[in-house]
C-alpha cells in the first residue's frame, strides 16, 4: 500500500488525545494469588489496541505488585533500597509480558526502562518516547523512576508530565474513587469528581501524595476507572464511562 493509499489517521472521539495508562501489577494476576495471567494481559492488550486504532496516543506504566507479592517474604528485613530495586525489576517483567500481548495483536510497542538493560529493552529517552507515540506506537515505561523510595504512581505522574499527556488514566479494581474500601464497606461514598486538594486533604487512596501533587502542578487530570470491566478503557477514553475525575479537564487540542 502506498502512502497515498494509506488510511488517514482517525480523530479520537473523546476529550483526550494522548494519555498515560497506569495499570497495577495486581490487575495482571487475574484470579491468581500472584504472577502474570496471560489471558488477562491479552484482554487488556485488546482494549489498548482498540484505543490505538481509534486514534489515541497511549503510553503505559505497569506496577510490579503481582510479582513482588511473591518476593515479599524474601524482602522482609532487607535494605529498603534493595527491596525497591527488586520491585523495579518486577515492573520490567510485567512490561515485557504486556509488550508480548500487544504485539500478538499487531500493536507496535516499545519498552523503555529507567534502569538501563539494553539487551531486553530501550533505555528511557524522553524525545525518543514522544516520537514513538507520534508514530502510533505504545510505549511502556518500566523500572519506575529508576530510583528507590518512589512508587510506580509517582513514575506514572512523572512520565505523564514529561510526555505532555492530556490525562493520566488509572485502571483499578473498582469504578472510581470511594470514601472507603467499597469491598469491605457497602456504605462507602463514590465520587464523580474531586479536586486535587480534596484527595490530599482527605487522604483518599487514589495515588500517593507526590503523584497527586505533580499532576496538580501540571494541571493533568487523573481519571480512575475499573480496568477489570470489559470495554471500560474505550468508554472512559470516549468520555462515556463510569469513572472519577480528579482535577480540571485539560483539552486535547494540539
Q: Which three cell numbers stand for residue 189?
A: 461514598
d(CA 154, CA 147): 11
Residue written as grid cell 500493536? 107
Domains of the chain: 18-246 (3.40.1160.10)
219: left (phi over 0), alpha (psi -120 to 50) or beta: left
Read off the pTM.
0.89
Please give the chain's pLDDT, 254 residues, in tens.
Answer: 444 444 456 787 789 999 999 998 888 887 777 788 899 999 999 999 999 999 999 999 999 888 865 555 555 677 888 888 988 999 999 999 999 999 999 999 999 999 999 999 999 999 999 999 999 999 999 999 999 999 999 999 999 999 999 999 999 888 999 998 888 898 999 999 999 999 999 999 889 999 999 999 999 999 999 998 899 999 999 998 899 999 965 433 33
Amino acid at each position: 500500500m502506498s502512502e497515498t493509499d494509506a488510511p488517514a489517521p482517525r480523530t479520537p472521539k473523546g476529550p483526550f488525545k494522548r494519555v498515560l495508562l497506569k495499570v497495577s501489577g495486581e490487575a495482571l494476576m487475574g484470579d491468581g494469588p500472584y504472577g502474570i495471567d496471560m489471558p488477562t494481559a491479552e484482554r487488556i492488550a485488546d482494549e489498548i489496541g482498540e484505543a490505538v486504532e481509534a486514534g489515541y496516543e497511549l503510553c503505559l506504566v505497569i506496577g510490579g505488585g503481582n510479582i513482588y507479592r511473591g518476593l515479599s517474604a524474601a524482602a522482609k528485613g532487607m535494605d529498603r533500597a534493595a527491596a525497591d530495586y527488586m520491585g523495579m525489576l518486577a515492573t520490567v517483567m510485567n512490561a515485557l509480558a504486556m509488550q508480548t500481548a500487544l504485539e500478538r495483536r499487531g500493536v507496535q510497542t516499545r519498552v523503555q526502562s529507567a534502569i538501563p538493560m539494553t539487551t531486553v529493552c530501550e533505555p528511557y529517552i524522553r524525545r525518543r518516547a514522544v516520537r514513538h507515540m507520534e508514530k502510533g506506537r505504545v510505549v511502556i515505561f518500566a523500572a519506575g523512576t529508576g530510583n528507590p523510595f518512589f512508587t510506580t504512581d509517582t513514575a506514572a505522574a512523572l512520565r505523564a508530565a514529561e510526555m505532555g499527556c492530556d490525562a493520566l488514566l488509572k485502571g483499578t479494581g473498582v469504578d472510581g474513587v470511594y470514601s472507603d474500601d467499597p469491598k469491605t464497606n457497602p456504605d462507602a461514598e463514590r465520587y464523580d469528581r474531586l479536586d486535587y486538594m480534596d484527595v490530599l486533604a482527605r487522604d483518599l487512596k487514589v495515588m500517593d501524595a507526590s503523584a497527586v501533587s505533580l499532576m496538580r502542578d501540571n494541571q493533568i487530570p487523573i481519571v480512575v476507572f475499573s480496568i477489570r470491566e470489559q470495554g471500560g478503557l474505550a468508554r472512559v477514553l470516549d468520555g462515556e464511562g463510569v469513572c472519577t475525575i480528579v482535577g480540571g479537564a485539560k483539552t486535547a487540542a494540539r
